[in-house]
Structure 1
Amino acid sequence: MIIDYRYHIASLVAVFIALGIGILVGSAVLGNDGIVERQKQLADRLEAQLEELRQKNEAVQARANNLEIDNNIQKQFEKQVLPPLISGKLTGKRLAIVETNSYGFRDDLVNTLAMAGATVQSVTTILDGFDLTDHKERLISELGIKEQSENEIIGFLATETARGILTGEKQALLNTLAQAELLKLSGDYGVPVDAVIFIGGSQDQTLVKTEIVDYPMIDYFLQQKIPVFGVEETNVTYSYMKAYQKKRMSTVDNVESVPGQLALVMSIADKPGHYGVKPTAQQLLPPFDTTGGVGNSQNGQSVGGNSRP
């Protein structure tokens, strides 16, 4: 199509003429004083809005500062009241920790357990959910595993890892898995334990393998009459609480916090329940009785299959 430039030039000239006429008409109707007054009104309105926003910002900042002060006071309070609340509650208890989420946990959890009188005998970390991508053939050869599906092999490794934690009979297997960077081992293995704490929850959906990693290990410990407790941190993207509760084990969903650690200590001290701040929790803490102790959770009913008499 041939473009007629004369038509476009004429259109542009018409637009500019219309704009000029509009300016002249506006000046004639309002006058220069009217335009100036209108601009002043607009500036005054904007200035008032900015002042209102400034005052609101100062109020929000003051509120934030007060909340920070309150939060610091709360943390100091929790830090001071936790030791007397848990002192001696777990005296003589020997614990094993199994971490299946690969993202680590805070050292203050172990410190809290020690403060309560417990000894953490071992910490076992499952790395990458026993991902066999680069290790399947080697493990089949070195461990004499019969050819099975990948999930069956993972389940087998999980059960044997649990057996190694408790009996010490599978140290060669544990060492092989550690060398393959599928396990991280810390502490003493084969030492009798009174309870096992599973640290679950995940930030990565590909690592959520509760049915093929956590369940076989949990089942083994429960079969050996060892109480099992499932915990996770508040901000995990994928919660394990529902999966753990299917095994009728006590759970704590905010174990990074002082209330969560207190709930865990009391759970191990024979006050089972589901504690924390998520919808899967039944209450924040075990109820305190009038004598200053901690009453039975769930109105005196325990979580079945989890606690010893």
Structure 2
Amino acid sequence: MIVDYKYHIASLVAVFLALGIGILIGSTLLGNTTLVESQKQVTNNLESQLEALRKTNEDVTARSNALQLDANINKQYEDQTLPLLVDGRLADKTFAVIELNGSGFPPEITEVIEDAGGTVSSVTSINDFYDEPKALNVLREELELWPDLSDDEYLGKLGTEIAVGVIDGEKDSIVNSLVDKKILQFTGEFGIPVDGVIIIGGGYKPEARNMQIDLALIDYFKELNIQVVGVEETDVSFSLMKEYQRKHISTIDDIDSAPGRLAMVLVLGGQPGNYGIKPTAQKLLPDMQKQEVK
């Protein structure tokens, strides 16, 4: 965090003005030499402090500029080396991506998969309508399905229906209704056989959202022996890594960073585990293994 001393300097200047007025009044009205000398000494001390603050501010600014330069260099280095590190590691593999964090889909995920030789067959985004009870009640009334289920059970059924659509490619009336209501959006094509599914979790709202759709998706794909990886960004307000790990799937908690995307490729390539920078991670990255020469 950059320290800004402008307010300290302004305060000291105000003190100088007050002292100057005090010296003038004191010398005019009282003629007290001791008082005037004392005020001058305080003023000199404040001048020294002001100069020290100016010097510190200059040093902080210079350090900030140097750190920004280092960050830019590191970013360029990551952008240029990451494609080389992942090259060929996901050759001829296909993946589906499902986004549940309600904050949009990070395009870097598909980019790194493609850099690794893989293909993303579909990207599905499900908004967080279910955190609004009124919206969920309206949906239940309109779909007229499963009236005896609790809200959690109902969301679990919806999650399973979405998973079936992703894998089978049959967008039944339920999935079509979710698309029509903009609860579900997707690009690409459903029904293409996949080697793995990436679920983007976490969230930026103050409180954690209902996880029943996440859990139903994970359960369905695991029943089909399809690899599932749960990922989230570094600065989410609430993390779902621990809950995902209870389902015994691999997790990456810093997918917005180059190490996180490298970890995801290595996991999808056959090195399961929990990686990232948060307390729920085992370590930053899987062990880098030399690729077989084809």
Aligned residue for 1:242? 242
Larger mean Cα displacement after TM superposition, 237-246 or 166-175: 166-175
Q: In 2, Cα distance between the equivalents of 1:52 and 1:137?
A: 64
Aligned residues: 265
Over residues 243-266 of structure 1, what are the superposed CA-to-partner deviations in whole Å (9 max), with x where a residue is unaligned? Answer: 011111111000011110000000
Q: Does residue 105 in structure 1 map to residue 102 in structure 2? A: no
CA–CA separation in structure 1 for the residues paired with 2:148 and 2:137:
10
Structure label with greater radius of gyration: 1
Q: Aligned partners of 1:250 and 1:189: how far apart in 2?
A: 23
Within-5 A mapping of 1:208-227: 208-210=209-211, 212-227=212-227
Give distance in 2, aligned partners of 1:129 and 1:205: 16
Partner Cα distance (1:247, 1:151) in 2: 17
1:202-230 per-residue CA deviation (whole Å, 9 max, x = no partner) reads 112555222x1111110000001100000
- Matched letter for residue 172 of structure 1: S
Which residue does 2:13 correspond to in 1?
A: none
Amino acid of the structure 2 residue aligned with 1:96: A
- How far the C-alpha of 1:144 sits from its partner, in A, is 4.1
Change (3 A) 1:147 1:218: same
The aligned residue for residue 50 of structure 1 is 50
Secondary structure at the aligned position of 2:135 is classed as: coil
> Deviations for 1:60-115, whole angstroms, at most 9, x for unmatched residues?
11111111111111111111111110011111111111111111132122111111
Q: Which residue is equivalent to 1:39? A: 39
Q: Secondary structure at the match of 2:174?
A: helix
**Counterpart in 2 of 1:64?**
64
Aligned positions of 1:66-215 closer than 5 A: 66-130=66-130, 131=132, 133-134=134-135, 136=137, 139=140, 142=143, 144-205=145-206, 208-210=209-211, 212-215=212-215
Partner SS, residue 197 of structure 1: strand
Q: CA deviation at 1:149?
A: 2.0
Query: TM-score, normalized by length of structure 2?
Result: 0.84
> Is the 1:90–1:117 contact (alpha carbons within 8 Å) kept by the matching residues of 2?
yes
CA contact (8 A) 1:234 1:253 kept: yes
TM-score (norm 1): 0.80
Match of 1:305 in 2: none
8 Å CA contact 1:143–1:173 kept in 2: the answer is no
Q: Which stretch has the larger CA shift, 179-188 or 244-253?
A: 179-188
Matches of 2:287 and 2:145 in 1, distance apart? 51
Are the counterparts in 1 of residues 266 and 286 from structure 2 also a CA contact under 8 Å?
yes
Q: Which residues of structure 2 form unaligned runs of 5+?
A: 1-25
- Aligned partners of 2:208 and 2:238 also within 8 Å: no
1:237–1:164 distance in 2 versus 1, CA, 3 Å: same
Are 2:281 and 1:258 aligned?
no
Q: Deviations over 1:7-53 (max 9, x none)?
A: xxxxxxxxxxxxxxxx9xx94xxx43223222211111110000011
* Residues 263 and 275, structure 2, Cα contact 8 Å, conserved in 1: yes
Structure 1 segments of 4+ aligned residues over 3 angstroms from their partners: 129-132, 134-147
Task: Give the aligned residue type for 1:231.
Answer: V
Distance of 1:218 and 1:138 partners within structure 2? 23
Aligned residue number for residue 18 of structure 2: none
Query: Which segments of 5 or more consecutive residues in structure 1 lack a partner in the other structure?
Result: 1-22, 295-309
Contact 2:121 2:188 in 1 (8 A): yes
**How large is the RMSD of aligned CA atoms in angstroms?**
2.2
**Percent identity between the two aligned chains:** 42
Q: Is the 8 A contact 2:207 2:238 kept in 1?
A: no
CA contact (8 A) 1:274 1:282 kept: yes
Query: CA–CA distance in 1 between the matches of 2:40 and 2:147?
Result: 87
Asked whether 1:271 is paired with 2:271, we answer yes
Which SS does the other structure have where 1:52 is aligned? helix
